[in-house]
Amino acid sequence: MSDRDSSARRRRRMKVDQQVASPRGSAVVQRNFVDADVTPEKVSKGTPLEDIIKKYDQPPNNEDMERVDKNSHALMILPFKFDPSLPNVEPGPINYEMGYSDRWEKNYVRMPCSLYYTFKNNQPVWLTIREDLGQLKKKCDAKLATFQDLKATIMRCAGNNYDTYCLEVLITRMYAPEEHIHFMSTVLSNICDLALNVNIFCSRSPPLLLAGNNHSVTMSQRQAASLLACAFFSLFPYRSEHEPTEEYKKFQDPNFIKLYQYGPSQKIEKLRCILHYFQRITKRMPSGVITFQRFSLPESEHPNWSKSKAELSHIHLTMSDKIEDIDGVLQVDFANRYIGGGVLSAGCVQEEIRFCICPEMLVSLLICEKMEPNECIFLIGCERYASYKGYAESFQFDGNYKDNTPKDNWGRKWCHVVAMDAICFPDPRSQYNMKNIDRDLLKAYTSFYPQDTKKKGNACSGIATGSWGCGVFNGDRQVKAIIQLMAASAAGRPLIYASYLDKKLVKSFFEVHQYLWNQKAENSVNKKQMTDQFHNTRQQIRRNDQIATSRTSAAVDKSLIKADEAPEKLKKGVLLDLIINDHRHPPSMEDMEKFERNSHTFMISPFKYDRSRSYVEPIPVNYASGYIDRWDANYVQMPCSPCYITNNTQPPWPMIRQELIQLKKKCDAKLATFEDLKATIIKCAGDNYDIYCLEVLITSVYSNMQRAQFMTTILSNICDLALNVDTLCSRPPALLRIGMNRWVTMSQRQAASLLACAFFSLFPYRSDREPNDGQKNFQDPNFIKLYQYGPSQKIEKLRCILHYFQRITERMPNGVITFQRFSLPESEHPNWSKSKAELSHIHLTMSDKIEDISCALQVEFANKYIGGGVLSAGCVQEEIRFCICPEMLVSLLICEKMEPNECIFLIGCERYSSYRNYADSFRFDGNYEDKVAKDNWGRKWCHVVAMDAMYFAEPSLQYDMKHVDRDLLKAYTSFYPQDSKKEDDAYFGIVTGSWGCGAFNGDRELKAIIQLMAASAVGRPLIYAAYLDKKLVNSLFAVYQYLLGQKARVRDLYRYLERYCTQTNQRESIFEFILKTPISSLKS
């Protein structure tokens, strides 16, 4: 096909010739997690694990406690020696007989029982705390305590009116009746006891482990339990302030209050682990000892890597074992520099999970200052109490765990964990700076450095580690593997690399180790050469992982850029106004009467919008004739169809009507309860579904006023809309099937009626666990899966959708919307290698989101099943857009999955909600007034195109030209100008961004080039909204300017892609490759 580069296009380009400079930043990329509960393949390589750990099947022996240096080791217990023949003997607190010895100073924990902790009237706070805890304990012992009693006690003790939503949900909703009773009587009574007696059990304040000090603290498990009981009631003074004091700004908050607050479901699961710990110690208090040790490596001990002659350590690699399951070794905790990371907030990755299944580790949050590059923290003897499954947002408590690990001569479990913090790389490429590599080498060496024991050989046990800092911190797994191999070798310790479920890393790391071993490599081998050799092997497995990989869900406290923070106002390229000025008014359409009916289904009578009579609403087609049914493969199978019958051959619609009428009557009488709504949904949906998220929203999140309004006025209106679907939608909507070029146009009222049916999950056969052949290529449009138990973002998405119903109850919008499926015929497919199209004008911004840039075609980063996970747990760009514009959800009802040469346009859908944040931190943020103008059909000037990217489980596959060609075709199809009354009206700008670069693992730079080529080939300007991604904006603009200077055409960019993707051993990015390669060299 010839390029769409007509004289009209040239005229358009001449209007937009003033270019300005603008940006790119590093958005955190969401990566799909392999389900952590999959039964792993038993792949292991290297030295057998048994050969590494057989020397250390018994715990390391330590000098007797009496001999430890009291200046560097604080013992909170009397000198104690564990006797295996008397395992239940428990160490006593030091100075037990002398009573509590207070230390209210900056080097010690400020204890809640201190007499120096006072109110403004100088009265000790502890007296009030004791009174409150004593009253609660009495109620527990009398089996009269309620959750409200517990909440009131926490509020008074914490000194503020905090939200305790997650704690309440766990205790009052998730616990079975017997669990609830047991906790509120026996377990809670014991927690009160432990907190009340903290001044007895901990007869002196624990010292703080401050930065720069080599210092240890040893305590009994009972003392740790007493401190954690204080944290349960959030008693530690000044640690939970919104603005921490100078004294505590480098410490974590050890109080549990933030964990209790509203948040994703993993917060509740973490609480289940911690409360299970309290249940276990209530049943039987453990009698062991634990130590927290801060180690700061003196500068004199820092290794000289370039001169190190240390031989490489033995290594065992496994993909079937988790670090915490490998006994007899030093286990690595992939730590935050603030130890514990997000364990007491929303974080839920390796460190947070470990602290939840071993809650005694939480004491470290109380005493440990943030770590410096030459420091680590050892946690010795902490017992494990809980099993778990899943990871990040899928994490779940999975019952009791019996820890049978033997004890050392101090009575500590043979469980040595080292917390070592990685650097967070918002821009992943910065990790290849040698300064950052040297920092991580120092950190790993410090953490692996053998510590003193009675027998020096015991200090050289193996190290169990893995892909340290390679999740949300964006580390390169292979670079981190080399770094840890070097550190372990320099420390003279064998390495056990637990790369859970990562078969490719196990194989490639083993190949590199074998190669180096055969070369008799020493640590003096140049670090760059080692990294280069690793990358040479790596090309067999995957291309250099320079793309940011992260976001599980789990937010990294203190590191993650929030999606709603005020962005820097950085823009480059052509002024935005110059692109959109010619399109301030909506594209004008031919009158509805003139449209070809074979390709366009109108569910309304021909309608022309008149701005002077904006209140006029389109009416359903054939309104007077009544409902005309179509029960076949080309139309939506409607719940009101007489052809819809159940197993008893009776149409369910009369029963559905009866249920909805009964519910509506109760709403109108202000008598409806949530149980009435739940019963109606269950009967209408035809199955006993879980609707936890809907229940939490309406009964717990909503205020009394919001709940009353929803259960009366709004719910009554939703019933009305569903009851009248056969009147409002006088015929079923047509399905937009694969291969069709077809439109469906309806009124906003008709869309509301269809969504009301989805609210009650009425659409037949669409929610079946095994969809039939006619439905398997379609999404499920019913809301029932959104109601089911899941992360907090499901509740926030429901808030957006129910806000939409509130808005249309207050005032029904009277506009029109269109859903269009476009399938590009093969005759129109471009020949990229021959395209002479000039590069389009481009505007780049890091401060605007796609949905906020009007008068342009807005790209929706779609799933091939349109809507993606909007009605389940998904919550990224597509899902968020559908929630703030719920009329888009109708597309799930009518659109079959997309093929590579297809896209779907959503035209005129109104926006109703504001929001903040992204993914698991997404929040509904109130009402949004959409003031966009309407076209002559009555549709909002909001054109959105859903174009689906390829998912690359293996990111290196995206550099196969077959896949590049697929994405070029997809983008070209989506940007291809559609019919309008005036030709120029079809060439408005395209607003896009890092399409397919989150969970789908796309390369941001490659996708930018692909979209620039597609926009240029169709002759439309490109607006690139790289939100908060300053580096992408700057680098894309630099590449664009370079290409303009070279007078590049689309065919030249295609040659760049061919050359780049077919080269071997390319560690540079596509932008770097373009900037160093003149166009003239491509022709040779």
Lowest mean pLDDT among 233-237, 351-355, 456-460, 688-692: 456-460
Does 70 have pLDDT greater than 90? no
Q: How far apart are CA 785 and CA 800, in angstroms?
A: 16
Residue 956: what pLDDT?
A: 86
At 756-802, the pLDDT tens digits run 999 999 999 998 877 777 788 999 999 999 999 888 899 999 999 99
Residue 1063: what pLDDT?
A: 76
At 78-129, the pLDDT tens digits run 999 999 999 889 999 997 777 788 889 989 999 999 999 998 888 999 999 9
780 is catalytic: no
Q: Would you give the distance in Å from CA 496 to the centre of its chain? A: 29
Residue 912 counted as an annotated binding residue: no
Q: How far apart are CA 853 and CA 876, in angstroms?
A: 18
Average pLDDT (450-467) is 74
Q: Which amino acid is at 212?
A: G
Does 676 have pLDDT greater than 90? yes
* Three-state DSSP string of 154-223: HHHHHCCCCCCHHHHHHHHHHCCHHHHHHHHHHHHHHHHHHHHCHHHHCCECCECECCCCCEEEEEEHHH
At 481-510, the pLDDT tens digits run 999 999 999 999 999 999 877 888 999 999
Residue 131: what pLDDT?
A: 95
Do 291 and 217 contact (CB within 8 A), yes or no?
yes
Residue 36: what pLDDT?
A: 38
Q: Please name the residue ranges forming H helices in 471-597.
A: 477-491, 503-518, 527-538, 576-580
Do 515 and 482 contact (CB within 8 A), yes or no?
no
Q: By C-alpha distance, which of 1024, 1046, 1051 is closest to 1035?
A: 1024
Catalytic-role residue among 333, 421, 838, 902: 333
Q: How far apart are CA 437 and CA 1012, in angstroms?
A: 35
At 892-930, the pLDDT tens digits run 999 999 999 999 999 999 999 999 998 888 999 999 999
Fold of 1-23+570-579+813-1084: Leucine Aminopeptidase, subunit E; domain 1 (3.40.220)
Catalytic-role residue among 351, 557, 920, 985: 351
Q: What is the DSSP letter of 476?
A: -
Question: Could you give the angle at the alpha carbon of 319 between the alpha carbons of 317 and 323, nearest 5°?
Answer: 80
Proportion of the chain above pLDDT 70, given as a percent: 90
Do 816 and 906 contact (CB within 8 A), yes or no?
no
Q: By C-alpha distance, which of 839, 806, 822, 796 is closest to 1039?
A: 839
Residue 898: beta bridge partners?
none
Average pLDDT (503-525) is 81
Residue 585: what pLDDT?
A: 87
Any idea which residue has 């909170």 for tokens? 76
Residue 741: beta bridge partners?
none
Q: By C-alpha distance, which of 157, 229, 233 is closest to 200?
A: 229
Q: How far apart are CA 1018 and CA 235, in angstroms?
A: 64
Q: Please name the residue ranges forming H helices in 985-1049.
A: 1004-1018, 1030-1045
DSSP state string for 935-952? -TTS-BS-EEEEEEPPP-
Q: What is the DSSP letter of 602?
A: E
Flag whether the pTM goes above 0.75. no
Structure confidence at residue 244 as a pLDDT band (50, 70, 90): confident
Which of helix, strand or coil describes residue 871? coil
Does 978 have pLDDT greater than 90? no
At 146-171, the pLDDT tens digits run 999 999 999 998 888 888 989 999 99
Average pLDDT (638-660) is 90
- The more confidently predicted of residues 704 and 14 is 704
Residue 252 counted as an annotated binding residue: no
Average pLDDT (362-382) is 97
Residue 991: beta bridge partners?
858, 1023
Q: How far apart are CA 371 and CA 334, in angstroms?
A: 13
Residue 1064: what pLDDT?
A: 52
Question: Could you give the angle at the alpha carbon of 24 between the alpha carbons of 19 and 25, nearest 5°?
Answer: 160
105 is catalytic: no
Across the chain, mean pLDDT equals 88
Does 58 have pLDDT greater than 90? no
DSSP state string for 288-351? -EEEEEEEE--GGG---GGG--PBPPPEEEESS--GGG--SSEEEEEE-SSTTTTTTTT--SHH
Structure confidence at residue 480 as a pLDDT band (50, 70, 90): very high
- The backbone torsions φ and ψ at residue 396, rounded to the nearest 5 degrees and listed phi first, read -145, 140
Q: Which amino acid is at 1045?
A: G
Average pLDDT (210-231) is 97
Sign of the four-CA dihedral 407, 409, 410, 416: negative
Average pLDDT (993-998) is 92
Q: Which two tokens stand for residue 666?
A: 């109760």
Q: Which two tokens stand for residue 623?
A: 């309104």
Q: By C-alpha distance, which of 507, 497, 211, 521 is closest to 370?
A: 211
Structure confidence at residue 596 as a pLDDT band (50, 70, 90): confident
Proportion of the chain above pLDDT 90, given as a percent: 70
Q: How many residues appear in the chain?
A: 1084
Q: Which two tokens stand for residue 362?
A: 């939480």
Q: How far apart are CA 946 and CA 367, in angstroms?
A: 51
Lowest mean pLDDT among 675-689, 760-774, 931-945: 760-774
Beta strands at 943-948 and 842-845: parallel, antiparallel or unpaired:
unpaired
At 696-741, the pLDDT tens digits run 999 999 999 999 999 999 999 999 999 999 999 989 999 999 999 9
Q: How far apart are CA 991 and CA 329, in angstroms?
A: 53
At 274-287, the pLDDT tens digits run 999 999 999 999 99
Domain ranges within the chain, ordered by starting residue:
1-23+570-579+813-1084, 63-298+308-538, 639-732+748-801
- The more confidently predicted of residues 978 and 384 is 384
Q: Which two tokens stand for residue 178?
A: 């017997």
Sign of the four-CA dihedral 558, 560, 566, 569: positive
Query: 144 burial class (0-12, 13-18, 19+ CB within 10 angstroms)?
Result: exposed
Catalytic-role residue among 3, 132, 168, 352: 352
Do 938 and 618 contact (CB within 8 A), yes or no?
yes
Q: How far apart are CA 832 and CA 3, in angstroms?
A: 10
Q: By C-alpha distance, which of 89, 93, 282 is closest to 193?
A: 282
Which of helix, strand or coil describes residue 804? helix
Any idea which residue has 């109490």 for tokens? 385
Structure confidence at residue 41 as a pLDDT band (50, 70, 90): low
Q: How far apart are CA 746 and CA 733, in angstroms?
A: 9
At 316-361, the pLDDT tens digits run 999 889 999 999 999 999 999 999 999 999 899 999 999 999 999 9
Structure confidence at residue 745 as a pLDDT band (50, 70, 90): very high
Q: How far apart are CA 239 and CA 246, in angstroms?
A: 11
Structure confidence at residue 412 as a pLDDT band (50, 70, 90): very high
Q: Please name the residue ranges forming H helices in 830-960.
A: 877-884, 890-894
Residue 554: what pLDDT?
A: 29
Q: Which amino acid is at 182?
A: H
Any idea which residue has 């560097």 for tokens? 72
- The more confidently predicted of residues 649 and 834 is 834
Residue 19 counted as an annotated binding residue: no
Q: How far apart are CA 497 and CA 704, in angstroms?
A: 54
Lowest mean pLDDT among 222-231, 470-479, 813-822: 470-479
351 is catalytic: yes
Residue 562: what pLDDT?
A: 34
Structure confidence at residue 593 as a pLDDT band (50, 70, 90): confident
